[in-house]
Chains A and B, each alone.
Chain A
Amino acid sequence: MRLRVKLFAYLTRYRDNLSSGTPCEVDLPEGATLADLLRALQVPDEEVKMAFVNGLAQPEDWQLKDGDEVGIFPPIAGG
């Protein structure tokens, strides 16, 4: 299945430093989860992130489907 993935803020370093929020396409086997996608993107487990699938926050065991749009953010601490 093919996913449309956007990485935001400093997580763009895991996608050739595309500018923040620029979509890229990722192919994964059917039945893959958000955790599988993060592994495919080589985002390390210890990197803190929030994932949204089709605009809705979801946990890492969430099962993805063809055509899903996924946004992945770091939480922002500063202020």
Chain B
Amino acid sequence: MAPMNDPALARYARQIIYGGIGEAGQRALLNAQVTIIGAGATGSVLANHLARAGVGRLRLVDRDFVELNNLQRQLLYDEEDVTGMWPKAVAAARKLRRINSAIEIEDVVADVTPANISGFVADADVVLDGTDNFTTRYLINDVCVKLGKPWVYCGVIATYGMTMTIRPGVTPCLRCVVGELPAPGSVPTCDTAGIIGPIVTLMGSIAATEAIKLLVGQGTLNPGMIHVDLWDDSFDRFELGGRRPDCPTCGQHAYPFLNAEVGTRATTLCGREAVQVSVVGSQGLSLADLATRLQAAGAKTVRTNPFLLRAQIAGHEFTVFPDGRAIIKGTSDEAVAATLYARYVGM
């Protein structure tokens, strides 16, 4: 059947006409599996492009929920997602299914950890970075190098961004280029430096195109680090040189982030006065039972939906997920958050 008459391909007619993709490329996209880790600003752009382009199976993994100050740049969300307290992965998947019902979209509300990341990427042809922190990126880098998965780094802040395409065994990995994990507080966040929407869309679009080229097996991949500053009209590209033999990830295959021992973790979140507390190995909890306990403990305005519980306790806003994870607002002190968690959630 001619591609334009094949109902499965008709919706992609305009990109099939483009010779770099063609019918064979479109079929490759439809047969592909992509995992996007993080569904915030860049994750929205990545997921939007790949769902519309017809990537057959998309997995979106995100730990966060939609807030009003996300809407300025996170293209998949709207005010109803804010009032409904929707997790980003769920809200994104719902929007994407309305855009393209012909593909499979899996939403995962979870913090990506050394314990669960392999399960999210093992069946992926390409892994994409929609995260906002280097700890998670170094974990992605470890697992992708170990499993031989190509992945695309994409970072944005203020008016600038960078992106790099990592092909294990072929190119240097992220750790070869960036070196040791930047210490907490050593690099600016959306909270301290702000961010404008267009740089997100631009860098996310470059990264999404890298994914399409990888999946189709055509086109010229970004061989280096692309750096753009839209405010200063600065567009630069740098080559990466060779892989470093002493790189703990791709040189020595030690994968220190993937092999990290972790238990209860408290992490300050980019962009607001909030700390996430998570427990690796948790059996999860009942939100209904927790709501009853918190009301007995004097919590105000306890609200739940199938995905989370929200309560005001001791001057802090708690958002608790069924996997036992909590985001505690009103502090950026990880120790304070861990104490509040132990006191009120109690795991």
Please, which residues of chain B bring their CB within 8 A of the CB of A56?
Answer: 238-241
Q: How far is the CB of B19 from chain A (nearest CB, A)?
A: 31
Taken residue by residue from 154 to 165, chain B's Cβ proximity to chain A (1 for < 8 Å, 0 otherwise) reads as 111110111000
In the bound assembly, the distance between CA atoms of A26 and B154 in angstroms comes to: 31
Please, which residues of chain A bring their CB within 8 A of the CB of B225?
Answer: 50, 52, 57, 73
B156 contacts which of A19, A48, A78 (Cβ < 8 Å)? A78
Q: A56-B240, A57-B177 given as contacts; is B131 within 8 A of A76 (CB)?
A: no
A16 at interface, CB cutoff 8 A? no
Check if B134 sits within 8 Å of A79, measured CB to CB: no
Q: How far is the CB of B135 from chain A (nearest CB, A)?
A: 10
Taken residue by residue from 22 to 38, chain A's Cβ proximity to chain B (1 for < 8 Å, 0 otherwise) reads as 10000000000000000
A75 contacts which of B182, B200, B231, B239 (Cβ < 8 Å)? B182
Check if A21 sits within 8 Å of B234, measured CB to CB: yes
Please, which residues of chain A bring their CB within 8 A of the CB of B187?
Answer: 48, 74-77
Interface core residue of A8, A71, A74, A76 (most chain B CB under 10 Å) = A76
Check if B43 sits within 8 Å of A8, measured CB to CB: no
Q: How far is the CB of A64 from chain B (nearest CB, A)?
A: 15
Check if A79 sits within 8 Å of B38, measured CB to CB: yes
A9 contacts which of B134, B160, B233 (Cβ < 8 Å)? B160
Give residues 40-67 of A contacting B (CB, 8 Å): 46-48, 50, 52, 55-58
Q: How far is the CB of B127 from chain A (nearest CB, A)?
A: 14
B290 at interface, CB cutoff 8 A? no
Query: Please, how many residues of chain B have a CB less than 8 angstroms from a CB on the other chain?
Result: 49
Q: How far is the CB of B174 from chain A (nearest CB, A)?
A: 9
Interface of B is mostly: mixed
Give residues 203-255 of B contacting A (CB, 8 Å): 224-225, 227, 229, 231-234, 236-241
Check if A57 sits within 8 Å of B241, measured CB to CB: yes
A14 at interface, CB cutoff 8 A? no
Closest B residue, CB atoms, query A51: B238
Check if A79 sits within 8 Å of B162, measured CB to CB: no
A77 contacts which of B134, B172, B232 (Cβ < 8 Å)? B134
Check if A19 sits within 8 Å of B232, measured CB to CB: yes
Check if A8 sits within 8 Å of B240, measured CB to CB: no
B319 at interface, CB cutoff 8 A? no
Check if B162 sits within 8 Å of A77, measured CB to CB: no
Q: A10-B188, A48-B186, A50-B178 given as contacts; is B133 within 8 A of A77 (CB)?
A: yes
Please, which residues of chain B bring their CB within 8 A of the CB of A76?
Answer: 155-157, 160-162, 187
In the bound assembly, the distance between CA atoms of A57 and B41 in angstroms comes to: 28
Give residues 137-157 of B contacting A (CB, 8 Å): 154-157
Binding site for A on B (CB under 8 A): 38, 40-43, 129-134, 154-158, 160-162, 172, 176-179, 182-183, 186-190, 193, 195, 200, 224-225, 227, 229, 231-234, 236-241, 270
Binding site for B on A (CB under 8 A): 6, 8-10, 19-22, 46-48, 50, 52, 55-58, 71, 73-79
The 28 sampled A-B contact pairs (Cβ below 8 Å) are A9-B157, A10-B158, A10-B193, A19-B232, A20-B232, A21-B227, A21-B229, A21-B234, A21-B236, A47-B186, A48-B178, A48-B179, A50-B177, A50-B179, A55-B237, A55-B239, A57-B240, A74-B187, A75-B162, A75-B178, A75-B182, A76-B160, A76-B161, A76-B187, A78-B41, A78-B157, A78-B188, A79-B131
